[in-house]
A and B are shown apart, each in its own frame.
Chain A
C-alpha cells in the first residue's frame, strides 16, 4: 500500500470494551481536517455494519459518522492514528481473525476542481486481520 491508499496494517485491529476498533493511517500524503472524510463503510466478516454501530475517535474525542464531515477544525495529523470503533455488544477476542472490507471516501479540501467541488480520494481494502493483544 502506498501513501495514497494505506489505511490499515497488520496491527490495526484492537479490542474495545464493546467490540473491536481499527487503528487508521491517513490515506494521503498530508494531515487533513476530519471534515475531509465524506463517508466510511465497513463490512465485518461478511456483514455490513450499520452506521450507528460505528464511531470515529481522534484527538481524545468521539464523533458519530454523521458528525464526521462537519469537523472542519479537527486535524487528523499525519503521524496520528484515528480509530474506527465498531460497537458489537461485547468485547472482541484477542487472537481471533476477522475479514474486513474498509471503504473510505475523502474530499481533498485544497484541491478545488471548481467552487463546491473537490478532488476525491477513494480507498477500498479487504484484509484479514488478527485482533491484537
Chain B
C-alpha cells in the first residue's frame, strides 16, 4: 500500500561511530571506511564525531576539510551531522570558563559548517553558552542539536529544563537529536550476552531484566541490582562498567513520547545493537519508531548507529553488514 500523504520526508544515513572498534584497531582510514560504506549502498547521509575522526581535534585544518568534501563528492555522500564535545574538565587544575567553553565549541561548529554539515550535535545546552553560540549558528546557517539518549527521554527533568531554555530563547535553530536507546522495548541481547560472558548466571540475568523494567530512577535501579548481587555473595565489580551501562544505555520510555518534541527534532540516531533472525532489530520496535517519524513529518537525516561494539568484541559482528540490514528494514516502513 502506498499512501503519498504518509511518505517519509527524511533521508537515511550512518554515523561512523558505528565502526568505532574497527577505527580504533586501525583496520580503516577515512577513505577506506567511506569506500566500504559506499560499496554497500549505505547512506546518503554521513555523520562523524570530531573527537573520533579528526586528528587535530578540537581544531580542523583545511587539508582535512578538503579531504572530507572530496570524499563526499567521490562517493555521493551528504554530510548529515557533526558531533562535537565540550571537554570542560581537560585541565584538572582549572575547569573551563564560559569563554573557554564558547571557544572550544565554536571552533568545532565553524569546522562543521565548512564541512557542509547542516546540523551540529552539541553536548551542552546551558542557557548562557547557547545564547553566545546562537548568533554564530545563524551566521553559519547550521542547526544545533542536543542528543536525547538513555536514560533521558523527551519529558525527563533534565530534558524538560532544556526545552524550557529553548522556549525562552525561541530560535528554530535549536533542537534535539533523539537516540532510540531511550525508547527500547527490552534489554538488548548483546548486553545480556556480555553479562553471561562476565559470569552472571541465568537467575541474575532474569533479575537484571526485572529491575531494568521498573520505573524507578536509574541510580535506584543500579543500587537495587548491586544489592541483589551482593546478597548472593557476588562482586558487582565482576561486571566492570557493564553493570552501570545496562541501565544508562538502555532506556524504556514510550516511543510515542518523541511526538512531544517532533517539531524540534533536527537529527536522529537510529540506535541498535543487533538484528534478529526474523530481520527485525533486537529490543527496539523499528516499525513503530519509523512510523512515528514518518507521520510526524520529520525531514532531516536518520543516522544508523550500531553500538554493539560497546559490548561485543571486535570481529564478532560486521557492523557494516548489520547497518545495511537495518537500513533495508527501515526502508520497508518509509
Which residue numbers of A lie inside 8 Å of B, CB to CB? 1-6, 9, 25-26, 29-33, 35-36, 69-70, 72, 75, 77-79, 107, 109-110, 112, 115-116, 118, 121-124
Contact = CB atoms under 8 A, between A and B. Distances in A.
Nearest to B28: A79
Question: Would you call the interface of chain B mostly helix, strand, loop, or mixed?
Answer: loop
30 contacts: A1-B314, A2-B311, A2-B313, A2-B314, A5-B240, A5-B241, A6-B21, A25-B25, A29-B17, A29-B24, A29-B309, A30-B52, A31-B51, A33-B90, A35-B91, A35-B92, A36-B90, A72-B92, A78-B51, A78-B52, A109-B89, A109-B90, A110-B85, A110-B86, A110-B87, A110-B89, A112-B88, A115-B95, A118-B89, A122-B240
Given A25-B25, A31-B52, A79-B23, 7 more contacts: A4-B310, A30-B52, A30-B85, A31-B51, A33-B90, A70-B93, A75-B57
B123 interface: yes
User: Which interface residue of A9, A35, A123 has the most chain B CB atoms within 10 A?
Assistant: A35
A61 B51 CA distance: 21
A128 B90 CA distance: 33
Nearest to B93: A70
B191 to A, nearest CB: 11
B313 A1 contact: yes
Contact of A26 (B24, B88, B240, B314): B24
A127 B33 CA distance: 30
Given A3-B310, A30-B52, A35-B90, A122 B241 contact: yes
Nearest to A121: B241
A2 B88 contact: no
Contacts of A110: 85-89, 123
Contact of B57 (A5, A31, A112, A121): A31
Contacts of B95: 115-116
A35 B91 CA distance: 7
A3 B319 CA distance: 13
A70 B245 CA distance: 28
- By CB atoms of chain A within 10 A, which of B17, B24, B91, B314 has the most? B24
B312 A30 contact: no
Interface in B96-154: 123
Contacts, number: 87
Interface residues of B, number: 33
B9 interface: no
Contacts of B25: 9, 25
A43 to B, nearest CB: 17
B92 A70 contact: yes
B24 A79 contact: yes
A29 B49 CA distance: 10
Nearest to B88: A112
A11 B99 CA distance: 44
A23 to B, nearest CB: 11
B217 interface: no
B20 interface: yes
A109 B88 contact: yes
A89 B17 CA distance: 42
Nearest to A29: B20
Nearest to A70: B92
A69 B92 contact: yes
Contact of B89 (A4, A5, A6, A107): A107
A6 B314 contact: yes
A30 B121 CA distance: 15
A91 B304 CA distance: 48
Interface string B9-31: 00000000100110111100000
Contact of A77 (B55, B240, B241, B312): B55
A49 to B, nearest CB: 23
The listed residue with most A CB atoms (<10 A of its CB), out of B25, B87, B89, is: B89
A31 B314 CA distance: 18
A78 B314 contact: no
Contacts of A31: 51-52, 57
Contacts of B87: 33, 109-110
A1 B87 CA distance: 26
